[in-house]
Structure 1
Amino acid sequence: MRNGMTARIARWRTAAGRATPVPFTVRGGIALTGLLAVGVAWPAELLSSPRFMLPVLIVALWPAMAPRGRGGSAVALAVIAGWLVDTAGYGSPVELWRVLALATLLYLGHTLTALAAVLPYDAMVNFDVPALWLGRALLVVILSAVVIILALGLTADLGGDAFQLATLVGLAGATAVTMVLARMARRG
């Protein structure tokens, strides 16, 4: 086991020595979004405890170190668990800014992890590549936030049967889009 750890540390040193700026920046973005998401989701009382904070920080940094693994899913689950602990366990109110911030940070972390998974750490890449990637991701985030805010506004106006009908129509539309995309993916 010790030889395996020594070999892994030697590989990380080699990788750090050969890393180029763009992949390093992308991985830094993954770490930043993970840490911010954990900070928004978990209660401050728990994050201020060093005994509890260390495992959460390790999970938050995991996808930045190994983007091809299960780290992205582990961060998402840790953030969701923190949200549940804070809202259900500590009684924090559900606020729109926190929901939008968590959705944004989780999506950006996910998309940056996907980019880092296909981007070797020593690749020579222009900054245009991650800039365009993040531009598209931010467009998705902004459009999603607008739709969420409009939907929340409609829930205040609609009630009862009309709202239930709108929910069912929305679910049917989402199912139809998923089926069309799955069929298109099989053809391509």
Structure 2
Amino acid sequence: MLTGLSGRVERWRKAAGRATAVPFTIRCGILFTGLLALGVAWPAELLASPRFMSVALGLVIWPALAPRGRGGTAAALTAIAGWLIDTTGYGSPVELWRVLALAALLYLAHTLTALAAVLPYDAMVSFEVPALWLGRALLVVLISAVVIVLALGLTADLGGDAFQLATLVGLVAATAVTMVLARIAHRE
């Protein structure tokens, strides 16, 4: 067991020695967005706890160090659990800015983790590559935020049975499209 652990530490040390600026910056972005997501989602009382923060930091550092694994999922689920604990357990109100910020940060962490997963530590990459990647991601975040705000405005105006029926039809349509796309992808 010690041999396996020392071998893993040695591989990480070599990888850190060969790391270039762009992959390192992307991994720092994963860590930064993960920390911000935890800060937005979790209650301040728990964030102040050293015991909790050590576990949370470990879960946020995980996808930055090993983006190809399940660390991104663990970090996202940690933020979502914090949101649920804060809103249900601590009775915090659901505020639009927190919902939008958490969704944006989780999406940015996810997309940065996906980029880091295909980018080796020692890749020689122009800064234009992650800049274009982040530009597209920020455009998606902006469009999504505008659509959410508009949809929330419509829900206040429409309401009632017709709106509930339209919501159910939309969910069924989204599920059907997802199933069709999954089947098409599975066939190829």
Aligned Cα root-mean-square deviation (Å): 1.4
- Which residue pairs with 1:39 in the alignment? 39
The Cα shift of 1:181 comes to 3.2
- Which residue pairs with 2:182 in the alignment? 182
The Cα shift of 1:54 comes to 0.5
Provide the C-alpha distance between the structure 1 equivalents of 2:21 and 2:135, rounded to a whole number of angstroms. 19
Structure 2: tracts of 5 or more residues without a match: none
Write the letter of the residue equivalent to 2:162: A
The Cα shift of 1:162 comes to 1.4
- Which residue pairs with 1:57 in the alignment? 57
Write the letter of the residue equivalent to 2:149: I
Question: Structure 2 matches for 1:60-75, cutoff 5 A?
Answer: 60-75=60-75
2:106 pairs with 1:106: yes
TM-score (norm 2): 0.94
- Which residue pairs with 1:151 in the alignment? 151
The Cα shift of 1:169 comes to 2.8
| Paired residue secondary structure (1:125) | coil
% identical equivalent positions: 78
Provide the C-alpha distance between the structure 2 equivalents of 1:138 and 1:181, rounded to a whole number of angstroms. 25
Provide the C-alpha distance between the structure 1 equivalents of 2:42 and 2:183, rounded to a whole number of angstroms. 39
- Which residue pairs with 1:80 in the alignment? 80
Q: Please, which moves more after superposition, 121-130 or 164-173?
A: 164-173
Write the letter of the residue equivalent to 1:181: L
The Cα shift of 1:184 comes to 4.9
2:56 pairs with 1:30: no
The Cα shift of 1:168 comes to 2.1
TM-score (norm 1): 0.94
Provide the C-alpha distance between the structure 2 equivalents of 1:160 and 1:136, rounded to a whole number of angstroms. 36
Write the letter of the residue equivalent to 1:104: A
- Which residue pairs with 2:7 in the alignment? 7
Write the letter of the residue equivalent to 2:125: V
Q: CA distance change for structure 1 residues 40 and 133 in 2, over 3 Å: closer, same or farther?
A: same
Q: Deviations over 1:146-176 (max 9, x none)?
A: 1111111111111221111220232233234
2:133 pairs with 1:141: no
Write the letter of the residue equivalent to 1:129: V
- Which residue pairs with 2:119 in the alignment? 119
Provide the C-alpha distance between the structure 2 equivalents of 1:183 and 1:51, rounded to a whole number of angstroms. 45
Provide the C-alpha distance between the structure 2 equivalents of 1:183 and 1:55, rounded to a whole number of angstroms. 38
Structure 1: tracts of 5 or more residues without a match: none
The Cα shift of 1:7 comes to 1.1
Provide the C-alpha distance between the structure 2 equivalents of 1:179 and 1:69, rounded to a whole number of angstroms. 25
Provide the C-alpha distance between the structure 1 equivalents of 2:24 and 2:52, rounded to a whole number of angstroms. 28
- Which residue pairs with 1:173 in the alignment? 173
**Residue correspondences, number:** 188
Write the letter of the residue equivalent to 2:36: L
Write the letter of the residue equivalent to 1:117: A
Q: Deviations over 1:1-25 (max 9, x none)?
A: 2221111111111001000111001
